[in-house]
Amino acid sequence: MRACTVAEEYERFCDSPNCSGVLDGKVIRAKCPSHSSLLTKMDLMVLEGLVDNYFKCFSAVIPGFPRYSVIGDRRHGVYNLRVSNASLEDDAEYQCQVGPARMHKAIRANAKLSVISPPSSVEILDHPSNSKIEIRENEEFHLECRVRNAKPAANILWYRGNVELNIPNREDQIVDVPSSNGNPNIKRYDTHSRITLKPTAEDDYEDYTCEARHEALQSDLPMKATVQLSVFYPPGLPYIEGYTEGETIRRGQTVELICRSRGGNPPAQLIWYKNGEQIRMAYRTAGRISENVYTFTADASDNKARYKCEASNIMSKAPLKAEIDMTVLFSPAHVTISGPTEARVGDPVPLTCTTANSNPPAEIKWMVAGKQIRNATSRTVVSPEGGWITTSNITAMVEPNKRSLVVICHGLNMQLTENVVSTHTINVLYPPSQPFIHGYTEGHSIHVGSVQKMSCTSSGGNPLATLTWYKNDKKIHSTIKKSDRSVTAEITILANVTDNEARYRCEAANSATEIPLFETITMSVLFPPETVKIRKEPLEFKPNTQAVLTCDSSSSNPPAKLSWWREGIPVQGAVNTTKPGLHGGKVSSIEVRVNISEQLNGVVYTCQATNEAMQRSVHDALILQVLYKPVFDSDNEKVVTGIESEPLIVSLKADGNPQKISYTWTKDGLPIMQRDSRTGTDRIISDGPTLNITKLSRFDAGIYTCEAINSQGNSIANINITVQFPAAVIAISENVIVKPEEDATLSCTAEGNPISDDTITWSRDDIPDFNVKTSVMYDKNGTSYLRISKVAREDMGNFKCSVNNGIGRTSNKNVLLIVKHKPEMDQSPIYLKFASDAGNMGKLVCRSQASPLARYSWSRNGTPISANVTGKYYTTFKQVDQLVSESTLIITHVTSADYGNYECVARNEMGFSTSSPRLEITSAPDIPSLLSIVNVTHDSVTLSWIPGFNGGMAATYRIRYRQMQEENYKYEDVPLSNETKYTVKGLDINTGYVFSVMAMNKLGNSKYMPDIVSAKTSMFVDSVEKIIPEDLLEKQDLPKIVIVSVSIIGVTLLLVNIGLVLGCVYKKRVKGIRDQNIQNSKSATIEMYAPSSYNDTVTGETLSSVSEKSETYSNEGSNNEYVDEGRKQAASTYLMDQQDYPGPYPSCLGYEMQIQPHLTHKTHTLPHPHHHHQHTQDKNRSRDDQSLGYHGNKSLYVSAPSPAPPADGSYYNMSERYLSYPPPLDFQNPPPVPAHPHITHSGTPVTPPLPANGSLVRHQRTAVPPPDVLHNTNQNIQILQAQTLNQKREMSTFDSNYDVANDQEGHLV
């Protein structure tokens, strides 16, 4: 733009800015010229509300608008605006402003900039460009075109091929397209156009194009999208080329039939048919033309054949077809002459000539012996294969002096000028000459098995003779050799017995002979007997009878000579006889008579037949089978001795014939189970002559009868079996009760085999002068009587009756002697303190041991209590066992006045004893006592303890434990109330732990016991278990081989386990250098046992199950004073040597225990009787505790004195090594027990009656391994002070007959 100044001195534009357009992305320049010298500034503003687009044009570069720049000539007032890379954002109205200057007002001019954007794409919806659309003819469909993102909106043109379509019903639509950045002033447009078509066949292959027209597009580069229509429509009528109906072709000519069909989409499918049968489906297409070419060679079957071509596609309602009928000319393929091939001179020969089918019919011409036959007749018939068949007959005569007659037949197709010829030859017949045989001279003898050849020859004849050999009128094979004038037939014979006196005949014949000519010879063959057979009479031989043995040979030439042999020795006196046999030979026979006895059973008689001319013989043998009943061997044993629980096999020998002997074993008339019918649990079975007792029982002794039976009879043998079995105690005297200073007699009855006076012995270890004080008597019934003179209280207890007869183990049984004595009160803590709340019912129990049983009375403060009278007090009586009873005082509605001490008096005829139980209000429980270790494995420790006073209600217990090197405790609650045994699981391997226990009830807790009980988990996991139960081993129920095998397997597994453990220990030690607190090796389960001092003896069950560790608690709330005190008081640690441990436990176990030597009250436990230890002090100590462990091959042990057995005999041991006090007894038929014996009886209390068999049944107890490690724990001082030495003796787990000398060997106190 340029501004001009005129005379009027005002400013104006020389060239006004005009509106212009620019293509998106191109450069535009807007002119703004001015010639005013008054121009001081020029501003350019973009209108249409774009106030931000205001800028001054005094410099070429416009800040903030990098694409805008001002170009021109400032001197001439030319300021043009240049916009680079124009976009739709630049589409706006621009204004050129000239500011006021020199009293001239401002001028301005507007210019509109239109940015043109070509379309981005053109597409036919739902159809990719250049795709093909398949549609049926006359089916309506739609095409929609869309041109996108144009400014201004584009126009759409439709083309069919190259011709623009003018469709009046097309639908067009323009759609605004908003800017992607949300600018409302920037717009583009989409144009839609939709047309509707109904295509026909002419639209097939036509292109339909949608073209976008826009001012931004170049005319030579239009934007368009094209699709092609594929219109389905039916094909055109097919037509056939290559043959015109009525045209004639020859057989063998190649014919090519072409079927075509034009049009159709898809192209037509063309199929050829011949006489209605499909012959070709392959066709080809080119564009919309289909073609099926069928090429073949014409033959007779094509004559009058109808060829049809069918065309169809998916649009065809029915196939379109074209047909032709074909005509084929062909001559006969062959002619055939039928009639005789042989004839004699002068014979008429009928002949027939037949042609194959021909079109037109063929003519037949005959030639006989070179001469044409002119009067031959012929006839023609229609062939089912097409054409005609011609037949002609003639008769020819055979002339003499000719060997053959040749006949020729011609078949001619006159139209095709083709001739087919067939020739037939008739031979003239003459008879042959007489045959003759050569190669064998009749009357000559040959040996059987030799080879003989014979030939037969005949000369002359036409044709040459046919030679045939016969043997006894049976045709045989021969080899034929021919020459011009003769023929020879040769046979080869391998002579056999059938050839002797056989007639061989050779016959010569041909067509000229009515009866064959022949020659015959007779053959002679020498042959030995093939078989010899022995006959016997009678068929069964029995002792004391005579048998006739006859030997017959088969036919032989010359006759065979027979002889008898017995066990290889010739039998003299037998005479041969002969008679005619087969094949012209002779049959020979010989006979011998034999007197039968048992000794001849199995003797062999042999018959020999010999052909002396051939020096060949055959044999047959007969083994004499003499039938007799079984006979037992005289060497069989009559008496057999066996040992109980061991196997016994008795075998007898019996002989008989037949040897199939069945055996039946019986005892006392009862049959014994046979092997094949046993059930698997039978102990005694029979297997033929063998009696098998897998495990002898004493009741198996007696006479066993074996009966052997066969078909000839039976025999019987008796065997006396005696069974030796270990002696055992079967009866003892029961309830022997005497007064002091009286004599007592105990009895013990034994059973066994053998048994003698010294089989039964008596013993008791705690009576020094036992032999002086006692005497023994023995009777013949196996009963031993022990007499004790002037018994004393100390004599009460068990006397051991031992029985041993040298077989098996010693059988022991304790016989109880009861000495009458006054009551002895049980002063245990549970019988000294009781509790009950006010208003509730209180119970106080008083227990004593006495003989006879005690009577009880209750008093308080010296005043007797009248029970069962006022309703305030009730008493009950209970007999615990033969010596122990208890009385219960029941106080109803307890008040504060009922609390305090009570007196219980137990009386019998020997005296009385008192106890002072106390009734208190319910409270927290007392601290438990005697915490001990029961069992230790690699990850668990089993504890047991004696409960203190429970405070009058059910109490539970909590275990506290920690590792010896740690300060923090872990706690586990015993789940069941009043449970006094618990296993702490989830412990670390080979780690020492300290344990304590406390009691709890609803009212509070007791204090923890001091930390003086410790144990160390083992470092091995015991993977070897007992495979065979101990009871089976003791009773020898298993064979020794089984025991040895299982033992070897167990030792092998143990050695493998030890190797693995040693490897783990090595790794553990190496890792321990890095981290002493990490212990991750696995180990074997080791069981360790220690008996309780008060409760039942602990059994040896293995606790090997692994459980999760208990929750770890802090030390808050624990009795820390016990921890410190326990550590200070722990003065020594003891190691238990386990080298004599009889169980499957390694001898390298480390076991740790702490005792507190400062307390004077201890409970004594008897030692293992077979341990002998030495002890030293362990110098290695952890804090104030002394750890246990093995040092080299030495073991550490501290012995301690044990108290002598109590003099009052307050305990006894019935059978087991360990027995709790009091020993539990169960009556097999328990009698009713009254509340108190004095209620129904006066005087001495009556002992309940015994069972009918006079024996008591004790609780079954499992075998307990000896406790190699015994733990002693401190008791509550207050409780210990209330116990006397006599009370401690009552709680001992060992009987009074335990050896005092052994008590000093290893018992801990």
Mean pLDDT calculated for residue range 1055-1060: 85
User: Each residue of 647-675: b (16+ CB within 10 Å) or e?
Assistant: ebebebebebbeeebebebebeeeebebe
Per-residue confidence (pLDDT) for residue 32, from 0 to 100: 57
CB 805 within 8 A of CB 759: yes
CB 817 within 8 A of CB 797: yes
| Other CB atoms within 10 A of residue 1097 CB | 19
Residues facing 92 on adjacent strands: 113
Cα separation, 846 vs 904, whole angstroms: 7
pLDDT tens figures, 246-259: 888 888 889 999 99
Q: pLDDT at residue 1029 above 50?
A: no
Mean pLDDT calculated for residue range 129-148: 91
List the 306-312 sheet strands across, edge first: 277-280, 269-274, 306-312, 320-325
Q: pLDDT at residue 1118 above 50?
A: no
pLDDT tens figures, 1188-1199: 333 333 333 333
Which of the four pLDDT bands, split at 50, 70 and 90, describes residue 184?
confident
1268's CB contacts (< 8 A; 6+ apart) are 1088, 1089, 1136, 1137, 1138, 1140, 1141, 1168, 1171
Per-residue confidence (pLDDT) for residue 511, from 0 to 100: 83
1153: its two tokens? 């225990």
Per-residue confidence (pLDDT) for residue 256, from 0 to 100: 93
Per-chain mean pLDDT for the chain: 77
Q: pLDDT at residue 136 above 80?
A: yes
CB 1290 within 8 A of CB 1210: yes
Alpha helices in 47-116, H assignment, sequence order: none
Residues facing 55 on adjacent strands: 44
Helices then strands, counting H and E runs in the chain, come out as 8, 98
166's CB contacts (< 8 A; 6+ apart) are none
Per-residue confidence (pLDDT) for residue 943, from 0 to 100: 95
Mode of pairing for the β-strands spanning 639-643 and 713-732: parallel
Per-residue confidence (pLDDT) for residue 787, from 0 to 100: 93
pLDDT above 90 covers a percentage of the chain that reads: 39
Q: pLDDT at residue 461 above 90?
A: no
CB 107 within 8 A of CB 3: yes
pLDDT tens figures, 831-853: 899 999 999 999 999 999 999 99
Q: pLDDT at residue 1093 above 80?
A: no
pLDDT tens figures, 947-1006: 988 888 889 999 999 999 998 999 999 998 878 999 999 999 999 999 999 999 999 999
Which of the four pLDDT bands, split at 50, 70 and 90, describes residue 24?
low
Integer-rounded Cα radius of gyration of the chain: 68
Which of the four pLDDT bands, split at 50, 70 and 90, describes residue 1292?
very low
Q: Which residue has the tokens 């915490």?
A: 931
Cα separation, 1005 vs 315, whole angstroms: 103
Q: pLDDT at residue 939 above 60?
A: yes
Task: Tell me which of 1190 and 697 has the higher pLDDT.
Answer: 697
Cα separation, 1054 vs 315, whole angstroms: 91
381's CB contacts (< 8 A; 6+ apart) are 388, 389, 391
| Other CB atoms within 10 A of residue 447 CB | 13
Q: What H or E segment, with its residue span, contains residue 888? A: strand 884-891
Q: pLDDT at residue 610 above 60?
A: yes
Length of the chain: 1309
Conformation bin of residue 862: beta by default, left when phi > 0, alpha when psi is -120 to 50:
left
1054's CB contacts (< 8 A; 6+ apart) are 1023, 1024, 1144
CB 1270 within 8 A of CB 1198: no
Which of the four pLDDT bands, split at 50, 70 and 90, describes residue 19?
low
636: its two tokens? 């069989």
Amino acid at 969: Y
Q: pLDDT at residue 476 above 80?
A: yes
Q: pLDDT at residue 1278 above 60?
A: no
Taking the CA atoms of 929, 932, 934 and 939 in sequence, report the sign of the dihedral they define. positive
User: Each residue of 96-127: b (16+ CB within 10 Å) or e?
Assistant: bbbbeeeebeebbbebebbbbbbbeebebeeb
Residues facing 277 on adjacent strands: 274
Task: Tell me which of 282 and 105 has the higher pLDDT.
Answer: 282
226: its two tokens? 């094209």
Would you call 310 exposed, middle or buried from its count of C-beta atoms within 10 A (0-12, 13-18, 19+)? buried
DSSP 498: G
Cα separation, 1186 vs 1180, whole angstroms: 7
Mean pLDDT calculated for residue range 922-947: 93
Amino acid at 487: V
pLDDT tens figures, 777-801: 988 888 999 999 999 888 888 999 9
Cα separation, 846 vs 946, whole angstroms: 19
* Dihedral, 1275, 1281, 1285, 1289 alpha carbons, nearest 10: -40
Per-residue confidence (pLDDT) for residue 1174, from 0 to 100: 40
Q: Which residue has the tokens 């801990």?
A: 1308
Helix, strand, or coil (residue 476): strand
Per-residue confidence (pLDDT) for residue 31, from 0 to 100: 60
Mean pLDDT calculated for residue range 733-748: 91
Q: pLDDT at residue 1147 above 90?
A: no
Task: Tell me which of 107 and 919 has the higher pLDDT.
Answer: 919
**E runs forming strands in 18-130:** 20-23, 28-30, 42-46, 54-56, 68-73, 78-83, 92-98, 107-116, 121-124
CB 292 within 8 A of CB 259: yes
1282: its two tokens? 């209330």
245's CB contacts (< 8 A; 6+ apart) are 324, 325, 326
Measuring CA to CA, how many Å separate 741 from each of 231, 556, 773?
A: 139, 116, 12
Mean pLDDT calculated for residue range 1070-1091: 42
Q: pLDDT at residue 7 above 50?
A: no
Q: pLDDT at residue 1111 above 60?
A: no
Nearest one of 307, 327, 313 to 239, comparing CA atoms: 307
Dump the DSSP string for 1223-1240.
PPEE-SSPPP--S-HHHH
Per-residue confidence (pLDDT) for residue 89, from 0 to 100: 78
Q: pLDDT at residue 1246 above 50?
A: no
pLDDT tens figures, 509-560: 988 888 999 999 999 999 999 899 999 999 888 888 999 999 999 999 889 9
Mode of pairing for the β-strands spanning 92-98 and 42-46: antiparallel
Per-residue confidence (pLDDT) for residue 373, from 0 to 100: 87
pTM, entire model: 0.36
- For 1000, phi and psi rounded to 5 degrees? -140, 145
Residues facing 911 on adjacent strands: 908
Per-residue confidence (pLDDT) for residue 58, from 0 to 100: 53
Cα separation, 1208 vs 24, whole angstroms: 129
CB 247 within 8 A of CB 327: yes
3-state per-residue secondary structure call for 1261-1301 = CCCCCCCCCCCCCCCCHHHHHCCCHHHHHHCCCCCCCCCHH
**E runs forming strands in 733-778:** 736-738, 744-753, 760-763, 774-778
Residues facing 855 on adjacent strands: 907
pLDDT above 70 covers a percentage of the chain that reads: 75
- For 409, phi and psi rounded to 5 degrees? -120, 130
Helix, strand, or coil (residue 1066): helix
Per-residue confidence (pLDDT) for residue 1064, from 0 to 100: 77
1306: its two tokens? 């290893």
Mean pLDDT calculated for residue range 73-101: 80
